[in-house]
């Protein structure tokens, strides 16, 4: 596995391989099975895979966890090599944002609301660094996890709007055995929070079960998700409310949103007649966790 | 000379020629010798030249001259063929901005002030369409006229900040025999305005002469340019103020700016100890004309 520390090396490698299909996997390091699944998917779809590890300062706001964001470089490189990654680009912040840097991407409409409500400049930073990486390491494909669903929508819309010659591939969420979506930020959770963190996936599973059972009212489904998150309870097959064995009493500390939206535009919906997504952001102390699930239209 | 009407055709051509140096010349049509000089420069520096003709709606504000912007397609194509252009990309507004388009470039710091004072969203539109064209017709070089000096600075800074793999080449202003910088908007001038339009280049020549004569005070030089523009007079070798033969009495209708600035940042300067630019925007009725001149540091 080759390591590139300068933009020139990365571009040279991409240039030398431009006749091959190459999959790019942009990451911020602190890699888990979710990231490694992107590398494996890239290696299935493409001849080569190049990962990038860069903790991007412009997508963090003042007071967020940029400084304490986990850095696990040795383990990251071992994991990438093991997953079959061919090359890793490891730029510094000074290389990506030299003095005088001042051009940003003004992200597409789908960046509005949801994550942007609590992180107003987040997607500007994400879109800008992804565009720069697409130029620095030009590849035929780029792989992103569906876990950060709004981010995936933003990158897809940006790529379409700016005519980027790269195919953006979204990959399924990888979960812990109890259903928690893998995230680099899960390591911030204490043991009590970690048990309650399961409520995000449980809320989505509750909605799924209810849809299966014929509940097609958007408000009712959102209420069900909110109830599972805030009270830590589920509705069983008989319609009774019950606590969940193994989850400490009490729900999440707070809910940022728990909504059903149009899966493409992330606009609110009134019916389930287009592809739709359940989108959740909830907090445990200062840790924010995300989860989501996509459904096909209910006939 | 090949004509491409769809993005797919243009990309295919660029792809087929990616092992050759190719110069891109983005234009809005209504071509004059200034544009054709860019094509000739591209053909000197590169193996092939592709021009684009696209009147870009996002760089016009409400009430500007988008609707009446001159369209002279037959003459444009004849001129391009004659200048040795190999290919022309002629997209429609719907192809460049399909429904749902919503991602823009937030232009670099150097876009602030000057043109942006009267056209606040202009450079957002310019930067966005240029970035899109760079993706739609990937080439090794791109040629822009120095006449739109702030635009050239914006495109250079964007290319650097976003790591665009294209070399941006600025080309000299081409002038009419009386010194007027060529512009598609010159055809809006009536015969009286056309005579007075010479005052922009005269103001810059006056500044040049004064610098040559040892005037190195920025305020004094700006005042000299302003006086030439507003009064239509020049200062002769003996220091006397005189009218200019052949220019009707009265200066320009109004001055937007007539300033000396740092040639790279377009920030105000106090001394002439770095490369600097004289930047002028003035109006004749509803027609706005630009001109500029770059100087090396005065020792």
Separation between Cα atoms, residue A250 and residue A252, nearest integer Å: 7
Q: From the candidates B35, B135, B141, B216, which is the catalytic residue? A: B35
Q: For residue A177, what pLDDT is reported?
A: 97
Nearest chain B residue to A123 by CA distance is B103
Contact A100 B107 (CB under 8 A): no
Contact B105 A106 (CB under 8 A): yes
Contact A103 B7 (CB under 8 A): no
Query: Which residue in this structure is represented by tokens 């710091």?
Result: B109
DSSP for A209-242, written as a single string: HHHHTT---HHHHHHHHHHHHHH-EEE-TTS-EE
Residue A118 labeled ligand binder: no
Q: What is the dihedral of CA A88, A89, A93, A99, to 10 degrees?
A: 180
Contact A165 B138 (CB under 8 A): yes
CATH of range B2-171; options 3.30.70.2390, 3.40.50.620, 1.50.10.10, 3.40.50.970: 3.40.50.620
Contact B105 A101 (CB under 8 A): no
Is B35 annotated as catalytic? yes
Separation between Cα atoms, residue A207 and residue A34, nearest integer Å: 24
Contact B105 A103 (CB under 8 A): yes
Give the model confidence (pLDDT) of B230-253 as tens digits. 999 888 777 888 888 889 888 999
Q: Considering Cα of A255, then A258, then A263, then A266, what sign does the dihedral take?
A: negative
Residue B147 labeled ligand binder: yes
Q: Which residues of A touch B165 (CB under 8 A)?
A: 11, 135, 138
Give the model confidence (pLDDT) of A107-151 as tens digits. 999 999 999 999 999 999 999 999 999 999 999 999 999 999 999
Strands B276-284 and B254-262: antiparallel
Tell which CATH architecture fits domain A184-294.
2-Layer Sandwich (3.30)
Strands A276-284 and A287-295: antiparallel
DSSP for chain B, written as a single string: -EEE-SHHHHHHHHHHTTTS-EEEEEE-S---HHHHHHHHHHHHHSSEEEEEE---GGGS-TTSSTTTS---HHHHHHHHHHTT--EEE---HHHHS-TT---EEE--GGGSSTHHHH-TTHHHHHHHHHHHHHHHS--SEEEEETTSHHHHHHHHHHHHHTT-SSEEEEEPPPB-TTSPBP-GGGGG--HHHHHHTTHHHHHHHHHHHHHHTT---HHHHHHHHHHHHHH-EEE-TTS-EEE-TTS-SS--SEEEEEEEEETTT--B-SSS-S-EEEEEEEEETTEEEEEEEEEPPP-
Residue B1 labeled ligand binder: no
Q: From the candidates A35, A135, A141, A271, which is the catalytic residue? A: A35
Q: Which residues of A touch B104 (CB under 8 A)?
A: 105-106
Give the start-to-end residue ranges of the domains of chain A. Answer: 2-171, 184-294
Give the CA distances from residue B26 to residues B47, B52, B54, B126, B133, in Å, rounded to whole numbers and listed in that order: 17, 5, 8, 11, 8
Contact B7 A163 (CB under 8 A): yes
Separation between Cα atoms, residue A133 and residue A148, nearest integer Å: 18
Contact A136 B163 (CB under 8 A): yes
Separation between Cα atoms, residue A85 and residue A87, nearest integer Å: 6
Nearest neighbour of B163 by CB, restricted to A105, A132, A157: A132
Separation between Cα atoms, residue B86 and residue B84, nearest integer Å: 6
Nearest neighbour of A103 by CB, restricted to B11, B138, B157: B157
Residue B9 labeled ligand binder: no
One digit per residue, the tens of pLDDT, for chain A of length 299 reads 999 999 999 999 999 998 999 999 999 999 999 999 999 999 999 999 999 999 999 999 999 999 999 999 999 999 999 999 999 999 999 999 999 999 999 999 999 999 999 999 999 999 999 999 999 999 999 999 999 999 999 999 999 999 999 999 999 999 999 999 999 999 999 999 999 999 999 999 999 999 999 999 999 999 999 999 999 988 877 788 888 888 988 899 999 999 999 999 999 999 999 999 999 999 999 999 999 999 999 97
Q: Are B15 and B139 in contact (CB under 8 A)?
A: no
ipTM entry: 0.95
The b/e string for A163-202 (b: 16+ C-beta within 10 A; e otherwise) is bbebebbbbebbbbeebbbbbbebebbeeebbbbbbbbbb
Smallest CA–CA separation between A164 and chain B, in Å? 6
Residues of A contacting chain B (CB within 8 angstroms): 7, 11, 18, 100-110, 124, 127-128, 131-132, 135-136, 138, 157-158, 161-165
Residues of B contacting chain A (CB within 8 angstroms): 7, 11, 18, 100-110, 124, 127-128, 131-132, 135-136, 138, 157-158, 161-165
Tell me how crowded residue B222 is: count the other CB atoms within 10 A of its CB: 18
DSSP for A24-68, written as a single string: EEEE-S---HHHHHHHHHHHHHSSEEEEEE---GGGSPTTSSTTT
């Amino acid at each position: 596995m080759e390591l590139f520390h300068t933009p020139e090396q990365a571009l040279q490698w991409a240039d030398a391989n431009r006749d091959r299909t190459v999959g790019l996997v942009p990451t911020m390091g602190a890699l888990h099975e979710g990231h490694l699944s992107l590398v494996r998917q890239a290696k299935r779809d493409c001849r080569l895979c190049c990962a990038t590890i860069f903790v991007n300062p412009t997508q963090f706001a003042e007071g967020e966890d940029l400084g304490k964001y986990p850095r696990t470089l040795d383990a990251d490189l071992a994991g990438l090599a093991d997953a079959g990654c061919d090359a890793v680009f490891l730029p510094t912040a000074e290389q990506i944002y030299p003095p005088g840097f001042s051009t940003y991407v003004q992200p597409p409409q789908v960046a509005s609301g949801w994550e942007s409500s609590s992180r107003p400049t987040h997607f500007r930073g994400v879109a800008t660094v992804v565009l720069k990486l697409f130029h620095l390491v030009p590849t035929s494909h780029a792989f992103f996890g569906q876990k950060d669903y709004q981010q995936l929508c933003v990158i897809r819309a940006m790529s379409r709007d700016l005519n980027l010659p790269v195919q953006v591939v979204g990959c399924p969420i990888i979960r812990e055995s109890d259903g928690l979506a893998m995230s680099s930020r899960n390591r911030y959770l204490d043991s009590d929070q970690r048990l309650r963190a399961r409520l995000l996936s449980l809320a989505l599973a509750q909605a799924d079960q209810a849809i299966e059972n014929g509940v097609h009212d958007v408000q009712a489904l959102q209420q069900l998700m909110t109830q599972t998150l805030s009270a830590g309870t589920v509705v069983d097959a008989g319609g009774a409310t019950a606590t969940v064995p193994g989850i400490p009493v009490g729900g999440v500390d707070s809910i940022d949103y728990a909504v059903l939206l149009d899966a493409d535009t992330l606009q609110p919906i009134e019916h389930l007649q287009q592809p739709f997504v359940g989108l959740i952001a909830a907090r445990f102390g200062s840790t924010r966790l995300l989860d989501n699930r996509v459904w096909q239209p209910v006939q």
